[in-house]
């Protein structure tokens, strides 16, 4: 499965095509909350995470989520990923617990996905 690094806007239709090519109704993403970019696609969040690390991102700035392009705006983003389990920064679950980080992710997605 292809993984793309998104630094400029991407259409919701393109997100939908990536979702259909991967899991049908969902596509995995990893967001760099400092650089405000994301990697989209792939079978595992860790693969997208590695691509962003190679592109110059720092581990602590990367968070995983899933996009469901056919769902309404309030359900479009799911903030769950194995890469989010980070006890050293206070996140012990797959779900991102920090509301400030969730809000940053949402703003970045809304900026990149049009």
Domain count across the chain: 1
pLDDT of 71 reads: 94
- pLDDT digit string (tens) for 46-74? 999 999 999 999 999 999 999 999 999 88
Measured CA distances, 38 to 9, 87, 90, 92 (Å) = 11, 23, 22, 22
pLDDT of 89 reads: 87
- Which residues in the chain land under pLDDT 70? none
Structural domain span for residue 86: 3-112
- Is 33:108 a contact under the CB 8 Å cutoff? yes
């Amino acid at each position: 499965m292809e993984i793309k690094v998104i630094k400029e806007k991407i259409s919701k239709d393109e997100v939908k095509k990536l979702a259909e090519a991967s899991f049908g109704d969902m596509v995995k993403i990893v967001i760099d909350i400092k650089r405000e970019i994301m990697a989209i696609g792939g079978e595992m969040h860790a693969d997208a995470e590695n691509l962003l690390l190679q592109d110059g991102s720092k581990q602590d700035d990367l968070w995983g989520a899933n996009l469901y392009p056919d769902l309404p705006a309030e359900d479009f983003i799911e903030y769950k990923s194995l890469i989010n389990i980070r006890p050293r920064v206070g996140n012990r679950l797959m779900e991102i617990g920090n509301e400030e980080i969730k809000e940053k992710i949402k703003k970045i997605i809304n900026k990149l996905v049009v």
